[in-house]
Amino acid sequence: MRTNTHHARRLSSPSPARRLVLAAALFATPVLAQAPANEAEDLPISAITLYRSGVGSFLRQGNVTGDQIINLRFRTDQINDILKSMMVVDAGGGQVEGVTYGSREPLARRLSSFALDLSDNPDRAALLAQLRGALVTVTTSDGQSTGTVLGVETRTVHHEGSTEQVRSLMLVGTSGVKSFELSDVRSFEISDPQLAQELNKALVAVAEHRADTTKVVEVSFSGNGQRPVVVTYVHETPVWKTSYRLALPEESEGEGRMQGWAIVENTTDEDWSDVRLSLVAGQPVSFVMDLYEPLFSPRPEVPVPTGVAARPRTYDGSVDKDQQAKMADARRELGRDFRTRAAAPSPSAMGGALMDLDASELEYEAAESAVANFAALGSMASASEAGEVFQYTLDLPVSVERQQSAMLPIINSTLGAQRVSIYSPQGGSAHPMRGVRITNDSDLQFMPGPIAVYDGAAYAGDAQIGHVAAGDDRLLAYAVDLEVDGTTDSKQRRTIQKVRIVRGLLEQTIEQVQETTYTFDNDDEDRERLIVIEHPKMHGWDYATAKPAESTAANIDRFELAIKAGEAGALHIEQRRTDAQRLQLTQTDEATFAVWVRGGQASAAVRDAFREASAKQAGINEVRERIRSLEQERSEIFSDQERVRQNLAVVNRSSDLSTRYLQQLSTQENRIEAIRSQIQSSQELLERRNRELAEYLSNLNVE
C-alpha cells in the first residue's frame, strides 16, 4: 500500500487534461449488478490536505479485483459535502459504476405517508380526530366503552363569571352516540390491528430519524483483474493551527532560531494511519449545500376533466413484427452512439491520462529526521507555493488515531533577530515592552499563531505573530521592560507667517508646530537598549528634525533610539504643517494690521490697501446707519399718527382740539414724504458705494 500512497499524492493535483478524464470517468458508466461489498479498510486514506478555511481533502487509494463494491462510512452531517465533492477514478482500465447511499426522506413527509400522521406532533384530541371511523375502546373513570369514533367536538361551558372550552370524544355504539370528556379519558385502544400497526410504524420512523448518525456510501467498480482505484472527497475539518518557539541570540543582533509546529485534529471516526499530510495556508471558497435531503416541488392540484361521453373511433393498423424489430435496433444503436460520443472517454484517452502511472511513480520517498535538540530538530515538512497559496507537506507519513490530535514540526530555520524595547505612548504604560525584530530571511511563510520566546535556555514570555511572508520583518513583544522608564512631553504652537490680499480676501499663511520629546532612563547596568518608539502618524505634517525608521499601515511611525547601559537618552520630534486661511478683508481691525506690519508678516502696501477698503466700508456703514435712523423715525411717526387718529375720533369736529389734531397729522404726512425721499436717495447711494467696494476688492491682489 505504500506504493499506492505515492500514487495518491501524485493524483491529488491532476493536470487540466487529466481532470477532464477524471470527470468523464465519474459520469460515463452504466450501473452493473452489485458485487459483494468490502469495508473501507480495502481503500484506506493515503493522503490528507487540510485548509485553514475549515475543510479537508481526503484521498483514498487501493486495489479492487473484478467487479467490486467498496463501502465508505460517513457521519450523516458529512454526506452533503461528500455528495458535492466526491471524485472516483478506476486507474486500471475498469469503470466506475456509480455511488449509492441510503436516501433520507424528510421526516415530516415520511410521517405523513402513514395512516396516522404524526408530522405535526398531534395532541390526544388531534390524534382521536384522525381515528374518525375507527373502532376504539375508551377507558374512563366509569369503566370501558367500545365504539366507532364519530369525531371530537368542542363546546363552551358557562360557569359563574367565566366560560370554559371543553372537548369531548363522540363514539357510536350499539346504544347510540355517547360523549366522553377528554379530561375524563384515561386511555384508549385502537381495535383495528392494521391501524395500530401504522401508529407503531410512525413511532419507529421517529426513533430511526433521531438515531440516524452514520451513513454507508457504496462505490461500485467493474472490470477485470486487480487494478488501482482512487476516491477523493472534501468535508468539514477543524482549522489547522500553528504555534512557534523562538530562541533569541545572546547578542543584541544575530541569528535566532524559529521552530514551528502544526496542530491538527482528527475528529473523524477513522484512524489516520501512515497518511501523507499537507497543510495549506490558503482559504478556498467552501460552502454547504443540502444535496442529501430529498426535495419535492409543490404541484398544483388540477380537477379531473369531465365531458360528454366519448364516441367510438377506428385506428390505423400497426406495423408488422419485422418492421418493429428494425426500429428497436435503430433506437438502441442511436442511444449507444450518443452515450459513447457524449460521455465515455476512449480507452486510449484513459490510458494516456491514467494508465501511464506505473508503480515506480506512485511511491513516496521516505524522509529521515533526527530529533536531537532544539537546534537540530528537523521540521519534517517541505514547503512550496502553489499559485496563490502556501503549502507544507510532511515528509514522513503521519498517523493520528480517531478523535485524537497531534502537534507536528513543520518549521525549523534560522532568522534575523534583533533585541529591541518597544515604547507605545498610546498604551499608557511608563515602561516599554521587551521585544525582538525578526526578519524572515527563509523561503517559508509564517502563519498566524502564538510564539513562546526563550532567552537562552530560559522562558522569556509569549508573543503573537500574524502572517509573515518570506523576506518580511515583524516586531514581537513578549514582556514588560521594567528596567527602562519612559516619559512623553508634547506641546503645540501656531504662528502666522505671512499676510497678503488675494482677490479682495485676507489670506493668512499659518504654520503649526507639534513638538514631542521622549525621554528614557536605562537602569540596566549590563545591557544597552535599542528603543523603538511608536509615534502616532499625523497626516499632512512634515518631520523637521528626526525622520522615522519605518511606517506601518496602522498610522504609526517608528523611530529608533539607542541608549547605553545605565544611561539616559531623549528623542525630540518636531512636526510642521503650513495652512492657508482666508477671511473677509474688513473683518480685521487697524491695530491687528499694525502688529503684523511690525512683525514682518504684512507689508505696508497690504496695510494701505486695507485702509482704503476700510474707508470704503466706513462710507457704506455711514449710509446704512442713516437709512436705519430714517426708518426708525418714520416708524415713530406712524405710531404717533395712530394715537392722534384715536383722539380725533372722540372729540368734537368743530373744536379747536380737533383742528390742532388735523394740523398735526398734516405736518406728519409731510415729514413722512420727506423721509421716504431721503431713504430712496440713501439706498441709491448705498448701492453705488457697495458696487465701488466690490469692484475695488475684486481686482485687489497685494503681497
Q: What is the CATH number of the domain that holds 169?
A: 2.30.30.720
The per-residue pLDDT for 192 is 82
State percent of the chain over pLDDT 70: 77
495 occurs within a structural domain: yes
In terms of domains, do 579 and 610 share one?
A: no
Q: Using CA atoms, how far apart are residues 542 and 699, in angstroms rounded to an integer?
A: 34
Report which of 174, 184, 167, 186 is spatially closest to residue 146, judged by C-alpha positions. 174
More confident of the two residues 150 and 627: 627
Has residue 254 got a pLDDT over 90?
no
104 occurs within a structural domain: no
Collapsed DSSP state (helix, strand, coil) of residue 192: coil
| Residues ≥6 apart with Cβ < 8 Å to 221 | 64, 67, 68, 69, 70, 90, 94, 95, 96, 97, 229
Has residue 326 got a pLDDT over 80?
no
Has residue 518 got a pLDDT over 90?
yes
The per-residue pLDDT for 170 is 86
Q: Using CA atoms, how far apart are residues 461 and 453, in angstroms rounded to an integer?
A: 5
Has residue 322 got a pLDDT over 60?
no
Q: Using CA atoms, how far apart are residues 179 and 184, in angstroms rounded to an integer?
A: 11
Boundaries of domain holding 162: 118-199
Q: Using CA atoms, how far apart are residues 346 and 250, in angstroms rounded to an integer?
A: 67
- Number of helical (H) and strand (E) elements in the chain, helices listed first: 11, 31
In terms of domains, do 581 and 609 share one?
A: no
The per-residue pLDDT for 569 is 93
Domain count, the chain: 3
- Beta-strand relationship, 87-90 and 226-236: antiparallel
Most confident of 207-221, 241-255, 325-339, 349-363: 241-255
The per-residue pLDDT for 355 is 32
What average pLDDT score do residues 554-581 get?
Answer: 91
Most confident of 287-291, 309-313, 603-607: 603-607
510 occurs within a structural domain: yes
What b-and-e string marks burial along 444-471, b requiring 16 or more CB atoms within 10 Å of the CB? bbbbebebbbbbeeeebbebebeebeee
What average pLDDT score do residues 690-696 get?
Answer: 87
Helix axes 656-698, 604-648, angle to 10 degrees: 160
In terms of domains, do 614 and 544 share one?
A: no
The per-residue pLDDT for 350 is 31
State percent of the chain over pLDDT 90: 21
Q: Using CA atoms, how far apart are residues 414 and 255, in angstroms rounded to an integer?
A: 6
* pLDDT, tens digit, 9 for 90 and up, residues 589-630: 888 888 888 888 888 888 888 888 888 888 889 999 999 999
Alpha helices in 290-320 (DSSP H): none
In terms of domains, do 549 and 504 share one?
A: yes
617 occurs within a structural domain: yes
> Mean pLDDT for the chain?
78
| Residues ≥6 apart with Cβ < 8 Å to 368 | none
Collapsed DSSP state (helix, strand, coil) of residue 156: strand
Of 58-72, 335-349, 391-405, the poorest mean pLDDT is in: 335-349
Are 479 and 473 in contact, with CB atoms under 8 Å apart?
no
541 occurs within a structural domain: yes
Collapsed DSSP state (helix, strand, coil) of residue 528: coil
In terms of domains, do 690 and 639 share one?
A: yes
Single residue among 585, 617, 651 that ends a domain in this structure: 585
What average pLDDT score do residues 537-562 get?
Answer: 87
In terms of domains, do 495 and 563 share one?
A: yes
Are 538 and 575 in contact, with CB atoms under 8 Å apart?
yes
Q: Using CA atoms, how far apart are residues 11 and 100, in angstroms rounded to an integer?
A: 24
Q: Using CA atoms, how far apart are residues 699 and 663, in angstroms rounded to an integer?
A: 55
Single residue among 551, 585, 619 that ends a domain in this structure: 585
Single residue among 167, 199, 231 that ends a domain in this structure: 199
The per-residue pLDDT for 344 is 35
pLDDT bin (cut points 50, 70, 90) of residue 698 is confident
493 occurs within a structural domain: yes
| Residues ≥6 apart with Cβ < 8 Å to 271 | 399, 400, 401, 402
pLDDT bin (cut points 50, 70, 90) of residue 383 is low
Of 129-133, 340-344, 480-484, 526-530, the poorest mean pLDDT is in: 340-344
What average pLDDT score do residues 256-268 get?
Answer: 91
Are 52 and 240 in contact, with CB atoms under 8 Å apart?
yes
Report which of 392, 443, 448, 456 is spatially closest to residue 414, judged by C-alpha positions. 443
pTM tops 0.85, yes or no: no
In terms of domains, do 575 and 628 share one?
A: no
In terms of domains, do 607 and 663 share one?
A: yes
In terms of domains, do 532 and 611 share one?
A: no
What are the grid coordinates assigned to 69, written together? Answer: 463494491
* pLDDT, tens digit, 9 for 90 and up, residues 626-682: 999 999 989 999 998 888 888 888 888 888 888 888 888 889 889 899 999 999 999
For residue 555, give the DSSP letter.
Answer: S
* pLDDT, tens digit, 9 for 90 and up, residues 69-105: 998 988 888 888 888 889 999 988 889 888 887 666 6
The per-residue pLDDT for 504 is 84
213 occurs within a structural domain: no
In terms of domains, do 493 and 531 share one?
A: yes
Q: Using CA atoms, how far apart are residues 327 and 316, in angstroms rounded to an integer?
A: 18
The per-residue pLDDT for 399 is 92
518 occurs within a structural domain: yes
Half-sphere exposure of 332 (CA within 13 A, CB side): 6
Report which of 398, 386, 395 is spatially closest to residue 282, judged by C-alpha positions. 386
Report which of 135, 150, 151 is spatially closest to residue 188, judged by C-alpha positions. 135
Q: Using CA atoms, how far apart are residues 216 and 292, in angstroms rounded to an integer?
A: 13
* pLDDT, tens digit, 9 for 90 and up, residues 164-206: 888 888 888 888 888 888 888 888 888 888 888 888 888 877 7
Has residue 351 got a pLDDT over 90?
no
Has residue 687 got a pLDDT over 80?
yes
In terms of domains, do 614 and 557 share one?
A: no
Has residue 559 got a pLDDT over 90?
yes
In terms of domains, do 628 and 577 share one?
A: no
Q: Which residue has the cell 512631553?
A: 489
The per-residue pLDDT for 389 is 66
First to last CA, the chain: 91
Half-sphere exposure of 209 (CA within 13 A, CB side): 16
| Residues ≥6 apart with Cβ < 8 Å to 91 | 7, 11, 227, 228, 229, 230, 354, 355, 357
* pLDDT, tens digit, 9 for 90 and up, residues 24-53: 333 333 333 344 445 545 789 999 999 888
Q: Using CA atoms, how far apart are residues 128 and 136, in angstroms rounded to an integer?
A: 9
- What single letter denotes the amino acid at residue 593? F
For residue 368, give the DSSP letter.
Answer: P
The per-residue pLDDT for 253 is 75
What are the grid coordinates assigned to 343, written together? Answer: 460521455
